Amino acid sequence: LRHASRSLIKGGNARVLQAWGIGAPLRGEALLTVAPRRIQLGDSLTLEVTISSRAKREQPLVIDYAVHHVKANGSTSPKVFQGWTLQLAAGETRALRKTHAVKLITTRRYFAGAHRVELLVNGRVAAEAGFELRL
């Protein structure tokens, strides 16, 4: 069932998240940093996440990230990528890191400009950062 509902989880569907026991919002703070701030096509981004709990109990978290890619007309389109699934203890702070490659693939075209990255915790935007892509 989890495999069948993964696109709904990535989309932040409240009913599906609730059914899996991860519908509650983060009780705490999230910080997202993206480095470097300017990249060329073919480079990689490093996403650094710090999650802090202010809850009195352990909380289950599904942490994904959405990259808002610039389209040909200048607008942006989000693409959600799977991040981490974890249990955050009461009062715990955890640091997470992920590398995201921005390279040519057959299913996506890249355009220069300001791209945005959103951190999604249990389907809700918890933090955001940006980077500049140069071709």
Per-residue pLDDT of the chain (135 residues; tens, 9 = 90+): 667 777 777 777 778 777 777 778 889 999 999 999 999 999 999 999 999 999 999 999 999 999 999 999 999 999 999 899 999 999 999 999 999 999 988 888 999 999 999 999 988 999 999 999 998
Domains and CATH numbers, the chain: 25-134 (2.60.40.10)
Instruction: Kindly report the three-state secondary structure assignment for every residue of 62-127.
Output: EEEEEEEEECCCCCEEEEEEEEEEEEECCCCEEEEEEEEECCCECCECCCCEEEEEEEEECCEEEE
Dihedral sign of CA atoms 128, 129, 132, 135 in order: negative
Give the per-residue pLDDT at 25.
83
Do residues 51 and 28 make contact, with C-beta atoms less than 8 angstroms apart?
Answer: yes
Phi first, then psi, for residue 91 (nearest 5°) are: 75, 0
Element (H, E) at 29: strand 28-35
Task: Quote the CA–CA distance of 135 and 117 in Å, as a whole number.
Answer: 18
pTM tops 0.75: yes
